[in-house]
């Protein structure tokens, strides 16, 4: 399950990293903020499970990923540490299952992405479906049993992601759609601390 | 730590199939005059038709360990569809079960693919959401508490309405209590009592508790 958590963090950070490092090479983008809608589609469910939230990413490694609905939770990454909070009984409580060890796994990948070295990704094979669509497929069979592929759709704005679709199998996929995207605005440090 | 937490979640459902000791025996019932008539207040505690519920689920093991996940339950007549996702929405487990037919697991990420997990999960979902099966007898316990009791083979289910419109449900296997479901903060939606909080406790030495907090309840239109 730890690998699943790592994987999710990958998927969170990847579009942000791409935003900060457009395909043409590392650009001048250094921060991204946006709202997102996440739809989890399951064949057995008549309607998708919909989540709403917001995120802020500051290069090279500060992230606030916050779900506002249906369950309030916040993931914070900053200065090499990681914390996660989940709402319980009306209050945000720290999820102690989130270890700092995760960062040691993720940070080298972020660094690669920020340098535009997508082909060096040790987890996914990277292919360009078309000019605005990047397809990632897991290199390892174990991971492929969890995620069959990931599609990243670039937006009109240079380096900014429109959506990410995570295909978890023939009967399940999750799509994140980003709106109200703001780039290169200074983000206060405490955004990543609380 | 994450691995331990999710392994614990697995245990919650796997242990439900284990034999446990020191459980409460079935209490006696004083039948009412119209003992086979189930009050609407009890019938309304079990959704009928097509519904979808989303809960945040916290679990605690007596031996230590806790975790949180999202649970989705879709009811459609005698068919149950359920899914477990991480808080972030990644699907850990998805299955459907039509009564009398084998459980169809459409997705089970390790370690949720362990034998017995699907059966334990679906059994707890049925205990919470589906009206018990069998012959029914309503009456009172010796202390005067009203209840209705369903009996099917060696399985007994007591449903005890509470004054606030919620209910407590006890199941017994082989004469000993196996589950207690306590519902709290109930509201009525489409003539169905919807609890905001549901606590499930499995009795015995291998006991566990599962706390479910309602995220959404939705009555779905009839299937075409």
In a domain, B21, yes or no: yes
Task: Flag if A96 and B72 touch (Cβ within 8 Å).
Answer: no
Nearest CA in chain B to A75: B88
List pLDDT tens digits, range B102-146.
999 988 887 788 878 888 889 889 999 999 999 999 999 999 999
Position B207 scores a pLDDT of 66
Residue A64's domain comprises: 2-186
Question: Quick one: average pLDDT of A125-140?
Answer: 85
Q: Flag whether B116 is in a domain.
A: yes
**What's the CATH number where B210 sits?**
2.50.20
pLDDT tier at B5, thresholds 50, 70, 90: very low
Long-range contacts of the stretch B1-5 (C-beta < 8 A, 24+): B1/A96, B1/A97, B1/A98, B1/A99, B2/A1, B2/A2, B2/A5, B2/A97, B2/A98, B2/A99, B3/A1, B3/A2, B4/A97, B4/B65, B5/A1, B5/A97, B5/B65, B5/B66, B5/B67
DSSP state of B56: E
Percent of chain A at pLDDT > 70 equals 69
Asked if pLDDT for residue B44 goes beyond 70, the answer is yes
Helix axes of B2-14 and B117-129: crossing angle, nearest 10 degrees? 70
Q: Domain range spanning residue B156?
A: 2-219
Question: How remote is the C-alpha of A2 from its chain's centroid?
Answer: 16
Among A11-25, A131-145, B8-22, B29-43, the minimum mean pLDDT is found in B8-22
Number of domains in chain B: 1
pLDDT for residue A110: 52
Token readout for B106 is 């459409």
Cβ contact, residue pair B70, A8, below 8 Å: no
Mind listing the pLDDT tens digit for each residue in B203-216?
Answer: 766 667 888 999 89
Q: What is the CATH number of the domain that holds A172?
A: 2.50.20.10
DSSP for B98-157, written as a single string: ETTS--EEEEE-TTTTSTTHHHHHHHHHHHHHSPPPSEEEEEE-TTS-EEEEEEETTEEE
Tokens 């972030």 sit on residue: B88
- For B131-185, the pLDDT digits (tens) are 999 999 999 999 999 999 999 999 999 999 999 999 999 999 988 999 999 999 9
Whether A175 is covered by a domain: the verdict is yes
Contact B87 A86 (CB under 8 A): yes
Rounded to 5°, the CA angle B215-B52-A94 comes to 25
Which chain A residues are closer than 8 Å to B85 by Cβ?
40, 49
Please indicate whether, in this complex, the C-beta atoms of B1 and A47 are within 8 angstroms of each other.
no
What residues of A are in contact with residue B90 (Cβ under 8 Å)? 4, 7-8, 40, 166, 168, 174
A67 vs B: CB within 8 A:
yes
pLDDT-based confidence at residue B58 (cuts at 50, 70, 90) = confident
Q: Is residue B224 part of a domain?
A: no
The percentage of residues in chain B with a pLDDT greater than 70, rounded to a whole number, is 84
Residue A72 lies in a domain: yes
Query: Does the pLDDT of residue B69 top 90, yes or no?
Result: no
Nearest residue, CB atoms, B1 vs list A7, A99, A145: A99
* SS3 label, residue B201: strand
Asked whether residue B153 is domain-assigned, the answer is: yes
pLDDT tier, A9 (very low <50, low <70, confident <90, very high otherwise): low
In this predicted structure, the answer to whether residue A131 has a pLDDT above a threshold of 60 is: yes
Closest chain A CA to residue B223: A46
**ipTM for this prediction:** 0.75
Residue found by looking up tokens 């099966």 in the block: B133
Nearest residue, CB atoms, A42 vs list B83, B86, B215: B83
Pick from B1, B7, B85: which is nearest to A40 by CB? B85
Q: Give the residue among B81, B12, B13, B93 at the shortest CA–CA distance from A1.
A: B93
pLDDT for B62: 52
Retrieve residue A82's tokens.
């990681």
Chain B CB within 8 Å of residue A83 CB: no
Using a CB–CB cut-off of 8 Å, the residues of B that contact A are: 1-7, 52, 54, 56, 58, 67-68, 70, 72, 74, 81, 83, 85-92, 94-96, 106-107, 109-111, 213, 215-216, 220
Least confident range of A25-39, A40-54, A91-105, B55-69: A91-105
Largest pairwise CA distance in chain B: 55
Q: Which two tokens stand for residue B51?
A: 């519904």
pLDDT of residue B138: 94
**pLDDT one-digit tens code per residue, A24-79:** 444 566 888 899 999 999 887 778 889 999 988 888 778 898 999 888 999 888 88
Q: Is residue A194 part of a domain?
A: no
Q: Count up the domains in chain A and report the number.
A: 1
- Residue A145: what are its φ and ψ, rounded to 5°? -75, -15
Residue A192 lies in a domain: no
Q: Which residues from B are below 8 Å from A93, CB to CB?
A: none
In a domain, A17, yes or no: yes
Closest-CA distance of chain A to residue B212, Å = 10
Over residues B76-95, the mean pLDDT reads 87
């Amino acid at each position: 399950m730890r690998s699943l958590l790592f994987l999710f963090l990958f998927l969170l950070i990847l579009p942000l990293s791409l935003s900060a490092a457009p395909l043409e090479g590392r650009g001048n983008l250094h921060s991204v903020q946006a709202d997102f809608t996440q739809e989890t589609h399951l064949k057995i469910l008549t309607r998708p499970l919909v989540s709403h939230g917001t995120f802020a990413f500051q290069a090279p490694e500060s992230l606030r990923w916050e779900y506002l609905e249906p369950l309030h939770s916040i993931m914070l990454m900053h200065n090499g540490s990681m914390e996660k909070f989940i709402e319980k009984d009306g209050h945000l409580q720290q999820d102690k299952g989130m270890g700092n060890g995760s960062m040691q796994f993720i940070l080298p990948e972020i660094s690669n992405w920020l340098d535009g070295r997508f082909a060096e990704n040790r987890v996914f094979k990277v292919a360009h479906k078309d000019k605005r669509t990047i397809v990632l497929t897991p290199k390892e069979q174990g991971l492929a049993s969890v995620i069959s592929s990931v599609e990243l759709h670039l937006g009109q704005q240079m380096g900014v992601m429109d959506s990410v679709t995570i295909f978890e199998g023939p009967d399940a996929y999750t799509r994140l759609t980003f709106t109200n995207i703001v780039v290169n605005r200074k983000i206060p440090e405490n955004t990543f601390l609380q | 730590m994450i691995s331990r937490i999710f392994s614990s979640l697995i245990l919650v459902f796997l242990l439900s199939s284990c034999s446990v000791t020191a459980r409460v025996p079935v209490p006696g019932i004083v039948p009412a005059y119209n003992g086979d008539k189930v009050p609407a207040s009890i019938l309304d505690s079990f959704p009928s038709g097509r519904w979808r519920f989303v809960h945040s689920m916290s679990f605690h093991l007596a031996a230590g360990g806790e975790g949180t996940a999202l649970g989705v339950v879709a009811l459609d007549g005698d068919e149950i569809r359920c899914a477990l996702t991480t808080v972030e929405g990644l699907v850990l487990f998805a299955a459907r079960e039509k009564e009398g037919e084998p459980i169809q697991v459409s997705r089970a990420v390790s370690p949720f693919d362990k034998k017995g997990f699907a059966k334990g999960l679906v059994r707890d979902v049925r205990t919470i959401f589906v009206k018990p099966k069998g012959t029914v007898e309503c009456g009172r316990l010796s202390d005067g508490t009203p209840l209705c009791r369903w009996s099917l083979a060696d399985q007994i289910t007591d449903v005890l309405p509470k004054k606030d419109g919620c209910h407590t449900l006890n199941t017994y296997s082989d004469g000993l209590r196996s589950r207690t479901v306590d519902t709290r903060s109930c509201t009525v939606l489409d003539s169905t009592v919807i609890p905001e909080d549901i606590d499930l406790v499995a009795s015995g030495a291998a006991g566990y508790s599962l706390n479910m907090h309602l995220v959404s309840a939705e009555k779905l239109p009839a299937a075409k």
